[in-house]
Structure 1
């Protein structure tokens, strides 16, 4: 069994003086600063940063093999998920990598007495002043500012390591990972107040006509056919919702929502889990739109299943400075570290945040995605919103999108989103009205970072064969991981925010909706003594082939951007609504028939 990696915590001032070893230092990673970021000044030498030194997982192919076998309903290992300990054993860095990085740290003055086991067993952390980080990484940190938002960050555009260390280090963070324009920010948007009326509204299939004007718990139960389903609080099925960067879920707003839409849930709540010192202020003026949306609909749809809200901080303490009004370390890896360190996380977790894929370094994207795979192998279904920019960049207004590559060539290109493009998560696009039509903002497309996984080969090939020759040639990667996988309602959601009923749109609404439906399917399976569904995508695409009526196929609408009409929703899978929206009744029959 491999040695587990180590975690290093070093208090400032506790250095052991030692001369760094003589070695040739070569650039490990470099980027062109993402568009909109401007270098303002050198970072203060005593500014404290926490460096994460992630080590490679040499047996990731083995982990991926396990993941696909236990996620394939036709495989004899289906549902036989791995334990936390087994995941750590498979994912542990090699002894050679551990020793190489340890020796390098010791050569820079870090005594071994400060080494201890990490929660995720995959690297080191070190809290140092900028001056020390610059010496170790042969780089210069600067204060960067995003001109459109005023956001600041301490970053560099290149760093170096001794040549012999390159194969032993996956990434050093934060170095070249810039906070995105939407840095862990919600894709949910308030929309003007609407007058809810059935006038001039029509619907069908047992769906109240008012659902064309306003989406409520009752509407979603009707549209996706689980009005009469009653989950059990004791089944063991649980749902988790994530919040980042002081996005708080308000208890008073939740009770107002229940009073309005789910009377039987009144006085129930969620378990709050703080990650990295995350808080959850209950000041109504600090209620978060995204957090309230996720918690109100995620819990409202699944009551009485237990729910967890993760509040992950991303602004660790730092020395105040006029040039540094905030610290914007991206907290994805912190949240993953935390969840992976726990033996029994919720089996369904929804996240409604994302970035343009091209704004993240390849090493960072792959590191995050591999850790999503670890959660999947433990039986966790991860849902992410597909984004609200159609085929374009982070700007939701398709008429002002840049849609240019950030590689120095400024090539016109559709811009996929991350983590939506990770093949180990289930990505959810957006619809509205009933019968359902794709929303124009529904994010979708093809990854430039991750190749297309085999589970979606048939569905995506079928779609591409229907595209006229030359359609958007050069604008997207036909062989990339395609998304979304599914979709759900994403417009006119009635939520309470700061004590007031408001209406929201965005795939931020569709992600917790889909997650809730699969938490209910887990409930149904657990009550029959069956394992939860885990990583869903191989199952979803097989169901599409064998039981296409389990999804409501969405064949109208498109997702414009980059000066184009984007892709069209069509019969079968498409890069606007995926396989369609879930039919709970049919899916329940299918998943209960699988042993």
Structure 2
């Protein structure tokens, strides 16, 4: 296929070579999309606007990597817990040498030398900074400035791009091209706390809940969730971390969300007094910041760090602040288009030799705003982290089965396929099968919180570990329920859930209450981190990729999770799915019962049948 470059040279001296050049170098469309709903094309992108282009090369042995991932994560497999090293993962996903050479030659033909390229450690990603004019020539496309009507955010994007035919099998994806996701935080439902916080009857100081610590929870927790409430409710009272020299938990922050140290101090002084003088490490990625001006304190960042870190003290903790919020202003001459913060974080964490064993992320966007090719490539990156022993926790979204409209009654859930079909809208990255998606509950006793994101992916097929839970749920639905509104064969979310409302936090020096799956995700991550602590303290490996473990527990050891059977998640003009006995697409397999989970985790599931 290298004759394409030779033919280009021949055209300089031989007219006869021209037809061959045209034929052999002909471009073919690699990807095309319909513009996502809510975005308007404003004007052509400035020719000198700089784009940080990422080129993903095919990962040669991803099937083997996935096989290894499942084996080391399946609690019934002999390899369970034998996680891979970074070097072993890199070797499995390294692209073929031919792909590397052909892409390098193509870039060189456009005047881009190899020393201008930045490569991932496995050489499966190439990153370059190039002006719009050059990218348009390389990809035979046109970039425009697009504006999101609701938020006013702007991006430089195209809706289609092409590659020379000989490169089609040697390039998986190129972005930013067709990617319109805004990657928003999931603490957007904090306003639900206003006006609905229940008045607690303190004449009866405790609420009986059999699965809770000592079978009861303080009645105040029905209107004010604190770390003490969560430990009582999820049966974790009295557990003290023992492996602080080995274990590590982290939260991610984006979009100028700053985690304030003074707020963290106030939170601990009020609610976790043993941690009053503690702090956390901050790692700055791609120009990320963490302003300590109280007026800049971020609700999302403060919520995540206060609960993930407050529940796991004294486990070492890290807050990743990643730059790359949408900075482009249509009338500005912004020098770079760096509005893909999650890609920047992934690039960083993939190169960390020993990443934290548990990482919580409360961000995402409608799955359909992320091109399928890119979603699958990002998901493959997350699989690599799972194979290395990292538990990845994602909130499932705050809009039930619907889109970004917080009012279930007015949601208009249309597809982006140009047909404007009504369809449930799942959330990505929660729909990636290699992460654990967390829904939300509220009230005591617990019931499904109606904002809990749940449903079925349109990109990812149902994984094997859901082959019992999901069909069992679907068999309970009346025939024809929501026919055509969801993909019954897709990866289903959430996997588990946790409390997601009336969390007491400190923001900007003030005490407030907040909710959403943003509260449920760090709570779940904290419980997972404590399980990792118990395993590490007993000479075992961390849990790593959680889902095969969770679904084995759900099927065989139901007492290790608190089944939520009441509630639903309305949206798109429907009542949504309902919570029921066993797994459901509102609360997953339910909320954690820490000490029962610990018994199973330490017994490598040999304790399962004792809990039946």
**TM-score relative to the length of structure 2:** 0.91
Q: What is the CA–CA distance in structure 2 between the aligned matches of 1:36 and 1:59, rounded to whole Å?
A: 38
Q: Write out per-residue CA displacement over residues 354-387 of structure 1, whole angstroms, 9 at most, x where no aligned residue.
A: 1111111011100110000000000000000010
Rate the CA distance shift 1:565–1:320 in 2: closer, same or farther, 3 A.
Answer: closer
Correspondence 1:259 to 2:274: no
Correspondence 1:502 to 2:504: no
Q: What is the CA–CA distance in structure 2 between the aligned matches of 1:247 and 1:388, rounded to whole Å?
A: 18
Deviation at 1:326, TM superposition (A): 9.4
Q: What is the CA–CA distance in structure 2 between the aligned matches of 1:45 and 1:508, rounded to whole Å?
A: 39
What residue number does 1:370 align with? Answer: 380
Deviation at 1:196, TM superposition (A): 7.0
**3-state SS of paired residue (2:147):** strand
Q: What is the CA–CA distance in structure 2 between the aligned matches of 1:545 and 1:183, rounded to whole Å?
A: 33
What residue number does 1:433 align with? Answer: 443
Q: What is the CA–CA distance in structure 1 between the aligned matches of 2:186 and 2:145, rounded to whole Å?
A: 21
Q: What is the CA–CA distance in structure 1 between the aligned matches of 2:486 and 2:111, rounded to whole Å?
A: 47
Which segments of 5 or more consecutive residues in structure 1 lack a partner in the other structure? Answer: 1-17
Rate the CA distance shift 1:323–1:546 in 2: closer, same or farther, 3 A.
Answer: same
Correspondence 1:577 to 2:587: yes
What residue number does 2:294 align with? Answer: 284
Q: Write out per-residue CA displacement over residues 169-222 of structure 1, whole angstroms, 9 at most, x where no aligned residue.
A: 111110110133x54564452433868754477621320011111100000000
Deviates more, 1:311-320 or 1:410-419: 311-320
Correspondence 1:234 to 2:244: yes
What residue number does 1:406 align with? Answer: 416
Correspondence 1:299 to 2:303: no
What residue number does 2:569 align with? Answer: 559
Which segments of 5 or more consecutive residues in structure 2 lack a partner in the other structure? Answer: 1-10, 13-17, 209-214, 606-612
**TM-score relative to the length of structure 1:** 0.93
Correspondence 1:105 to 2:115: no
Q: Please show how residues 78-477 of structure 1 align to structure 2 within 5 Å.
A: 78-115=80-117, 117-180=119-182, 183=184, 186-187=187-188, 189-190=190-191, 191-192=193-194, 197-199=200-202, 203-204=207-208, 205-232=215-242, 234-315=244-325, 321-322=331-332, 327=337, 329-477=339-487
Q: What is the CA–CA distance in structure 2 between the aligned matches of 1:326 and 1:85, rounded to whole Å?
A: 33
RMSD: 2.1
Q: What is the CA–CA distance in structure 2 between the aligned matches of 1:453 and 1:118, rounded to whole Å?
A: 28
Kept after mapping to 2: 8 A contact 1:179/1:328: no
Q: What is the CA–CA distance in structure 2 between the aligned matches of 1:375 and 1:112, rounded to whole Å?
A: 28
**3-state SS of paired residue (1:70):** helix
Kept after mapping to 2: 8 A contact 1:231/1:523: yes
> Which protein is richer in helix relative to its size?
2
Kept after mapping to 1: 8 A contact 2:117/2:127: no
Kept after mapping to 2: 8 A contact 1:386/1:507: yes
Q: What is the CA–CA distance in structure 2 between the aligned matches of 1:192 and 1:318, rounded to whole Å?
A: 34
Kept after mapping to 2: 8 A contact 1:152/1:326: no
Q: What is the CA–CA distance in structure 2 between the aligned matches of 1:325 and 1:249, rounded to whole Å?
A: 27
Kept after mapping to 2: 8 A contact 1:233/1:306: no
Kept after mapping to 2: 8 A contact 1:152/1:325: no
**3-state SS of paired residue (1:189):** helix
Rate the CA distance shift 1:421–1:116 in 2: closer, same or farther, 3 A.
Answer: closer
**3-state SS of paired residue (2:468):** helix
Deviation at 1:112, TM superposition (A): 3.1
Equivalent residue pairs, number: 577
Q: What is the CA–CA distance in structure 1 between the aligned matches of 2:189 and 2:333, rounded to whole Å?
A: 30
Deviates more, 1:325-334 or 1:306-315: 325-334
Rate the CA distance shift 1:117–1:476 in 2: closer, same or farther, 3 A.
Answer: closer
Q: What is the CA–CA distance in structure 2 between the aligned matches of 1:48 and 1:117, rounded to whole Å?
A: 19
